[in-house]
Chain A
């Protein structure tokens, strides 16, 4: 009898301590009764007074960043007066003001670089400075703007509005501001954009003391325009874009001065860059199926001299939440019948890339990849990683390199200009 009682107490204690009956400490089980479904009762608690102050009449915002770059070229310079190490200071100010309930605004984004040696790489630009007026389904902007079209990562065939800022490296982050009048209409069936661009900007190359240039200095003396109006030829573009369920697409047409010149030799050591008048139709397509993004960009470009077809096709697969990280695998292929004439050398090339986002507090990210020419074996590779430090600093490391460059490619002239760069930026 005594043992029985003791046994009962022991079982009770055990049950209480091991939480067999309660899965969570602050939860008590109610013996279930047959529930009577109730109507949702209207509560009589007073509605709290909305905390929002009346929307301000004018919103202004000043932001941007200051950055320091240290760039090291491991290979010896090919041409005289070039250096191995460069320091730079970069300033990216931004200003925004809106009024009329946000329906009228002015946006400014500036850029300036001070390079230790090269006075051409020390340059500044107005990336954006435009006025915009928004009507319900309409948007009108006037000024210098940046517009980006397309989906693929290794090549940006359809993206034609803004000229590359080659002095900053020819990736999509670095584009020159394009003066334009831009009208955009967003009905139920997508977005229609109309652009009139009254002024054209040429590619700018580094000066005598800079790396990443051919043996001679390319400047505006080497520029040839097909248009009699030269850089004042009015360029026109129209685009329709839409997202239908998991498909994003865009179709565009451009008439005007080609952003990419072709290279016309003058003699054995010199050449000119010819900016033709072109009609270019572009297609961008992206379909999302689960973890896979399928991508396609294609252009059909007609000039008096030549008709060009080019396509980039590929995809990106993401392995999500692998140790909290996202890992993306990218494979793309470009065919461009311009062949060696294309300055970036992508004519029959595969691209393999890896994207990594650690999804941590510092937003640590990595992107790397290489382009491999299917026939010539030319290899260009890049890798970049960045991480936030504290709340407003960011450190980045970047490398770019070339291997086995065919001597018929334009980048053969830059083959020793692969670099490693460390940057530290302060955001404000």
Chain B
């Protein structure tokens, strides 16, 4: 008798579980979690970057930075970014602790006055150094910072992608929603479209020159942000990407190290 019941229960589970449809929200969240998992365990890396700002007339300006990034188990990441050009801000350094829940912590060190200043986390929707990237586009993208919705499978320039809508939870975000295209094969982002608070299309971010690091982790060596409202664009190129950089430790992320950063 007991075994019959067990069989019935098991059969019920087998029959009903797969057919129980996920809502688009559940599916969106699942895909985003899988994407996070696919990139889990990267540890740390350092890189240099060149940002090229281009206005409508095609005139360009560049900004160079280099940075040190560290994964934190169970929370957001830690980063230390140092400005190399323009020359008047050379040596300015920013340290960010991203958190899955709640406000991120961010400090800016200004070498000319030897002062460490706290940047309130709601100040992240503004442009970064006059570029088309906002501070929030450059900080680590935690799953918990959005509500997710699965839209469908699409083919983007021949690549099969999951298309997701994401709604930022923070009221201070500059976006009402973003549409993300994640490569179905490896979950890496291929394209993100940003919609402003009025829900009109604002920017498109395209990832390219992907390379695989440490045998597993995909990083785009080029990110192109096009602003549809002002016609400007910013190209962000990464180089010297080095995973498992032995110079990066817990001590890289103290205020002393922020002041010493070169």
| Residues of chain A having any CB pair with chain B under 8 Å | 23-24, 26-30, 32-33, 35, 37, 40-43, 45, 47-48, 50-52, 55, 59, 61, 63, 65, 96, 98, 101-102, 105, 132, 134, 136-137, 139, 146-148, 151, 172-173, 184, 186, 191, 241, 243, 245-246, 248, 286, 288, 290-293, 318, 320-321, 324-326, 357, 359-363, 388, 391-392, 394, 425, 427-428
* CB <8 Å contact, B61 and A361: yes
- Contacts known (A29-B154, A243-B105, A246-B105); A288 close to B247, Cβ less than 8 A: no
Interface residue from B105, B153, B247 paired with A30 (Cβ < 8 Å): B153
* CB <8 Å contact, B115 and A40: no
Q: How far is the CA of A286 from the CA of B118 in the complex (A)?
A: 9
Interface residue from A33, A286, A394 paired with B88 (Cβ < 8 Å): A394
Q: How far is the CA of A184 from the CA of B259 in the complex (A)?
A: 12
Tell me if B124 is interfacial: C-beta within 8 Å of chain A: yes
* CB <8 Å contact, A291 and B242: no
Measured CB to CB, the nearest residue on chain B to A290 is: B122
* CB <8 Å contact, B126 and A321: yes
Measured CB to CB, the nearest residue on chain B to A241 is: B255
Q: Can you list 9 residue pairs at the A/B interface with Cβ under 8 Å?
A: A29-B153, A30-B155, A47-B213, A137-B251, A248-B118, A291-B122, A324-B127, A360-B130, A388-B86
Interface residue from A32, A291, A394 paired with B172 (Cβ < 8 Å): A291
Question: Secondary structure at chain B's binding surface: helix, strand, loop or mixed?
Answer: mixed
* CB <8 Å contact, A50 and B262: no
**Min CB–CB distance A404 → chain B (angstroms):** 30
* CB <8 Å contact, B154 and A28: yes
CB contacts between A and B, total, < 8 Å = 169
* CB <8 Å contact, B187 and A52: no
Tell me if B53 is interfacial: C-beta within 8 Å of chain A: yes
- Contacts known (A48-B213, A59-B262, A96-B262); A101 close to B112, Cβ less than 8 A: no
Q: How far is the CA of A245 from the CA of B125 in the complex (A)?
A: 21
* CB <8 Å contact, A359 and B157: no
- Contacts known (A184-B256, A243-B105, A320-B126); A148 close to B114, Cβ less than 8 A: yes
**Min CB–CB distance B50 → chain A (angstroms):** 13
Interface residue from A42, A102, A286, A362 paired with B262 (Cβ < 8 Å): A102
B101-136 near A? 1/0 per residue, CB < 8 Å: 001010100001111101011111111011000100
The 6 closest A-B pairs by CB, nearest first: A361-B130, A427-B87, A321-B125, A148-B114, A28-B155, A291-B122
* CB <8 Å contact, B212 and A43: yes
* CB <8 Å contact, B85 and A391: yes
Q: How far is the CA of A48 from the CA of B186 in the complex (A)?
A: 18
* CB <8 Å contact, A318 and B115: no
- Contacts known (A40-B38, A102-B262); A318 close to B251, Cβ less than 8 A: no
14 new A-B pairs (CB below 8 Å) besides A50-B241, A65-B87, A102-B247? A24-B193, A27-B155, A29-B153, A45-B212, A61-B262, A101-B247, A136-B249, A148-B114, A184-B256, A286-B118, A291-B123, A321-B125, A391-B61, A427-B87
Tell me if B152 is interfacial: C-beta within 8 Å of chain A: yes
Task: Give the one of B87, B105, B152 with max A CB within 10 A.
Answer: B87
**Min CB–CB distance A211 → chain B (angstroms):** 24
In the bound complex, residues from chain B placing their C-beta under 8 Å from that of A290 are: 103, 120-122, 172
- Contacts known (A26-B156, A51-B241, A361-B53); A134 close to B254, Cβ less than 8 A: no
- Contacts known (A30-B154, A43-B186, A98-B262); A293 close to B120, Cβ less than 8 A: yes
In the bound complex, residues from chain A placing their C-beta under 8 Å from that of B53 are: 361
| Residues of chain B having any CB pair with chain A under 8 Å | 34, 37-38, 46, 53, 55, 61, 85-90, 103, 105, 107, 112-116, 118, 120-127, 129-130, 134, 152-157, 160, 163, 172, 174, 179, 181, 185-187, 193, 211-216, 239-242, 247, 249, 251, 254-257, 260, 262
In the bound complex, residues from chain A placing their C-beta under 8 Å from that of B88 are: 65, 363, 388, 392, 394, 425, 427
In the bound complex, residues from chain B placing their C-beta under 8 Å from that of A428 are: 87
* CB <8 Å contact, A52 and B242: yes
Measured CB to CB, the nearest residue on chain A to B136 is: A321
**Min CB–CB distance B118 → chain A (angstroms):** 6
Q: How far is the CA of A320 from the CA of B136 in the complex (A)?
A: 12
Q: How far is the CA of A212 from the CA of B155 in the complex (A)?
A: 70
Question: Secondary structure at chain A's binding surface: helix, strand, loop or mixed?
Answer: loop
Q: How far is the CA of A288 from the CA of B46 in the complex (A)?
A: 29
In the bound complex, residues from chain B placing their C-beta under 8 Å from that of A50 are: 241-242
Interface residue from B112, B127, B163, B213 paired with A359 (Cβ < 8 Å): B127
Interface residue from A27, A43, A52, A391 paired with B86 (Cβ < 8 Å): A391
* CB <8 Å contact, B115 and A148: yes
**Min CB–CB distance A50 → chain B (angstroms):** 5
Q: How far is the CA of A37 from the CA of B240 in the complex (A)?
A: 35
Measured CB to CB, the nearest residue on chain A to B35 is: A40
Q: How far is the CA of A55 from the CA of B115 in the complex (A)?
A: 29
Q: How far is the CA of A325 from the CA of B154 in the complex (A)?
A: 37
In the bound complex, residues from chain A placing their C-beta under 8 Å from that of B216 are: 42
In the bound complex, residues from chain A placing their C-beta under 8 Å from that of B116 are: 148
Measured CB to CB, the nearest residue on chain A to B124 is: A320
**Min CB–CB distance B21 → chain A (angstroms):** 9
Task: Give the one of B90, B114, B241 with max A CB within 10 A.
Answer: B114
- Contacts known (A28-B154, A147-B114, A293-B118); A363 close to B130, Cβ less than 8 A: yes
In the bound complex, residues from chain B placing their C-beta under 8 Å from that of A105 are: 260
Q: How far is the CA of A385 from the CA of B38 in the complex (A)?
A: 47
In the bound complex, residues from chain B placing their C-beta under 8 Å from that of A325 are: 126
**Min CB–CB distance A384 → chain B (angstroms):** 13
* CB <8 Å contact, B239 and A51: yes
**Min CB–CB distance B68 → chain A (angstroms):** 12
**Min CB–CB distance A189 → chain B (angstroms):** 12
* CB <8 Å contact, B152 and A32: yes
In the bound complex, residues from chain A placing their C-beta under 8 Å from that of B254 are: 186, 191
Q: How far is the CA of A364 from the CA of B172 in the complex (A)?
A: 23
In the bound complex, residues from chain B placing their C-beta under 8 Å from that of A98 are: 262
Interface residue from A148, A191, A318, A357 paired with B122 (Cβ < 8 Å): A318
**Min CB–CB distance A415 → chain B (angstroms):** 28
**Min CB–CB distance B75 → chain A (angstroms):** 12
Q: How far is the CA of A241 from the CA of B134 in the complex (A)?
A: 31
